[in-house]
A and B are shown apart, each in its own frame.
Chain A
Amino acid sequence: DAKTTQPNSMESNEEEPVHLPCNHSTISGTDYIHWYRQLPSQGPEYVIHGLTSNVNNRMASLAIAEDRKSSTLILHRATLRDAAVYYCILSVPYTDKLIFGTGTRLQVFP
């Protein structure tokens, strides 16, 4: 299964944009890039996913590099509620399993 690499932690100030990077150099053509986040003491929560084109939703934007070897999750204005562990995950083709790696712990300061 293709792997992802994320920084262990990042910090941001409230109301500033946050760019969370993810490297996935062994991604295959059919792997979707998923982002989930986990707030303290809660189950993971879907954020966004995409294949090739950049994606936007009410929570975030996903920028995917042209060669698909990396992607960036963009939170346009961080809030204290965005403090969580963010996981970048590649779907395993033709399966119903989502394998979590070691995500990025985002701290947001007032």
Chain B
Amino acid sequence: AAGVIQSPRHLIKEKRETATLKCYPIPRHDTVYWYQQGPGQDPQFLISFYEKMQSDKGSIPDRFSAQQFSDYHSELNMSSLELGDSALYFCASSGRLRNNEKLFFGSGTQLSVL
């Protein structure tokens, strides 16, 4: 069965650079979620989208932005990267969580900021 696909798997950037992470949800899933997991930390909710509109917002820095496109894939754009942005970024997709659908997570993008 198709799963959530994230690209790239690994990304190395320098401070103050920008990064774009991509997420391709499971077909027919209309909701996408982004999470950040720092080393030894629990996943932190960043933002979610439903039908291409922002649905909920968590602890996402102002330097980050995200969107969901007409084909339901999503991109997380990160600017002015800081060392503290080094983390594993997970994308998940589902039918709508508020309807108690379960989330399916991708394998994540490991971002290293040097």
CB of B50 within 8 A of CB of A43, answer no
Report B32-45 CB contacts with A as 1/0, cut-off 8 Å. Answer: 01010000001111
Q: Which residues of the other chain, A, contact B105 by a CB distance below 8 angstroms?
A: 43-45
Q: Which residues of the other chain, A, contact B45 by a CB distance below 8 angstroms?
A: 97-100
Per the bound structure, the CA–CA distance linking A55 and B57 in Å amounts to 30
| CB-CB contacts below 8 Å: A75-110 with B | 85, 87, 91-103
Per the bound structure, the CA–CA distance linking A90 and B43 in Å amounts to 15
Interface residue count for A (Cβ, 8 Å)? 25
Per the bound structure, the CA–CA distance linking A87 and B107 in Å amounts to 18
Of listed A34, A44, A46, residue having the most chain B CB within 10 A: A44
Per the bound structure, the CA–CA distance linking A34 and B90 in Å amounts to 18
Main SS class of interface, A: loop
CB of B56 within 8 A of CB of A103, answer no
CB nearest to B44 among chain A residues: A100
Per the bound structure, the CA–CA distance linking A100 and B97 in Å amounts to 14
Q: Which residues of the other chain, B, contact A102 by a CB distance below 8 angstroms?
A: 42
Q: Does A49 contact B (CB under 8 A)?
A: yes
CB distance from A83 to the nearest CB of B (A): 17
CB of B100 within 8 A of CB of A32, answer yes
Q: Does B92 contact A (CB under 8 A)?
A: yes
Q: Which residues of the other chain, B, contact A93 by a CB distance below 8 angstroms?
A: 98
CB nearest to B90 among chain A residues: A43
Per the bound structure, the CA–CA distance linking A43 and B106 in Å amounts to 6
Per the bound structure, the CA–CA distance linking A101 and B41 in Å amounts to 10
Binding site for B on A (CB under 8 A): 32, 34, 36, 38, 42-46, 49, 85, 87, 91-103
Q: Can you name 6 A-B residue pairings with CB atoms under 8 Å?
A: A43-B4, A44-B105, A46-B103, A96-B98, A98-B103, A100-B44
Further pairs besides A32-B100, A95-B56, A98-B45: 16, Cβ < 8 Å? A43-B4, A43-B92, A44-B90, A44-B103, A45-B105, A87-B42, A95-B98, A96-B48, A97-B55, A97-B56, A98-B33, A99-B58, A100-B42, A100-B44, A102-B42, A103-B42
